[in-house]
Chain A
């Protein structure tokens, strides 16, 4: 059983639309939740972190966490072609020693 699950995609959205990326996790004691963006051939880059239930907004990005449902999502508003990348969901506990990454969702934003 995978511990962090993401839809592998590809998810295709038109430029200017909202892209919605979803992630579920199995470990109920998880405390830290992250979204990383990875362009092809590059290393992952942290774009959002969230630690408590609710929404967290940073520019065009909104992370949403629901610990009761063990669900975390990332919304990208006004999607741009430059947002085309693989988005990795990561879930960790205290200390970060066992952070688990999902396999990633490939996003394509069509101009």
Chain B
């Protein structure tokens, strides 16, 4: 019954590495999102996508990029990992209704540690 799948639950990477976080949803949702969650800072939006090959910057896009080649898959890329990117990364998807969206379905998260 898994609906939003993130490829890794835990990840340890070295400073300067290029890191790929993968997210796949099986609900045919139009919208997909990447957030990071840090203690005391809450959920912060990195990037989102409302259609295939479309992407929009969120509140903290610096140091990240994304790719959405297929509707079900949304990838987050850390171009050159740094220690301040150590965080919990959450992927989410949603569909739209006339009154706004129906709420997010989150993946289980990837806890990334950059050393």
- Residues on A facing B (Cβ under 8 Å): 31-32, 34, 36, 42-46, 49, 51-52, 88, 90, 92-97, 99, 101-104
Smallest CB-CB A-B distances: 8 pairs: A96-B101, A32-B100, A43-B106, A101-B43, A103-B42, A31-B100, A46-B103, A51-B99
CB within 8 Å for A31 and B96 given contacts A97-B56, A101-B43: no
12 A–B contacts, CB within 8 A, in A order:
A34-B104, A42-B108, A43-B106, A43-B108, A44-B43, A90-B104, A94-B96, A95-B96, A95-B100, A96-B100, A96-B104, A97-B56
Report the tally of A-B residue pairs with Cβ distances under 8 A.
64
Q: Is B50 an interface residue (CB 8 A)?
A: yes
A95 neighbours in B (Cβ, 8 Å): 31, 50, 96, 100-101
CB 8 Å contact bits of B33-70 with A (1 = contact, 0 = none): 00000001111010010100000100000000000000
A31 neighbours in B (Cβ, 8 Å): 99-100
A32 neighbours in B (Cβ, 8 Å): 99-101, 103
Contact of A101 among B42, B99, B102, B108 (CB under 8 A): B42
B101 neighbours in A (Cβ, 8 Å): 32, 92, 95-96, 99
B90 neighbours in A (Cβ, 8 Å): 43-44
Which residue on chain B has the smallest CB distance to residue A6? B42
Which residue on chain B has the smallest CB distance to residue A101? B43
Q: Are B106 and A93 in contact (CB under 8 A)?
A: no
- Residues on B facing A (Cβ under 8 Å): 31, 40-43, 45, 48, 50, 56, 90, 94, 96, 99-109
B104 neighbours in A (Cβ, 8 Å): 34, 36, 44, 46, 90, 96, 99
Q: Smallest CB–CB gap between B106 and chain A, Å?
A: 4
Which residue on chain A has the smallest CB distance to residue B98? A94
Q: Are B108 and A51 in contact (CB under 8 A)?
A: no
Q: Are B107 and A43 in contact (CB under 8 A)?
A: yes
Q: Are A94 and B100 in contact (CB under 8 A)?
A: yes
Q: Are A96 and B96 in contact (CB under 8 A)?
A: yes
Cα distance A54–B114 in the bound complex, in angstroms: 46
